[in-house]
Amino acid sequence: MARVRGPARYPRPSTTRLIVCQVVVIGTLSVIAAALGGGQTARDAVMGGLVSLIPSFYFAWRLFGQSQRLTGAAGRLYKAEAGKFGLTVALFAIVFALVPPSNPTFFFLTYVATIAVHWLAPWLVRRQSSPRN
């Protein structure tokens, strides 16, 4: 007779490396922006990176920071992605309404570079090992 278990669980991945890599990209591009254009340009680079980093952090927290059950995983994925999209739109609106970037090139360059770090996710995000039953 097979043993009946509860809902399937999966090991929660560690997204720390991905977030740290994004912070490093923001820092590096901010230093380059400061060297090329001064403090105002560096501020624009930081804002562009934060517009990408904050929604990414929210997505990781919403998707992986809660339940580990596979039940409802697709729903959590859709809700996390919708929240990330909404947060990104809100942050863009806030930045352009309250503090318009003086150098949009570095703002968008840092935003895109921080987003591009997600391409490295398969190598940066490692699953925590789980004991086999």
Q: What is the pTM of this model?
A: 0.76
Q: What is the pLDDT of residue 103?
A: 86
Helix, strand, coil tally for the chain in percent (to 5): 70, 5, 25
Confidence of residue 133 (pLDDT cuts 50, 70, 90): very low
pLDDT digits (tens, 9 = 90+) for 19-73: 888 999 999 999 999 999 889 999 999 999 999 999 988 988 887 776 566 667 7
Above 90 in pLDDT, residue 10?
A: no
What type of residue is 49?
Answer: G
Of 8-22, 40-54, 73-87, the poorest mean pLDDT is in 8-22
Question: Using CA atoms, how far apart are residues 129 and 107, in angstroms rounded to an integer?
Answer: 38
Question: Using CA atoms, how far apart are residues 35 and 42, in angstroms rounded to an integer?
Answer: 8
| Residue the block writes with tokens 């997505």 | 59
Neighbours of 49 (CB within 10 A): 26
Strand, helix or coil for residue 14? strand
What DSSP designation does 69 have? Answer: B
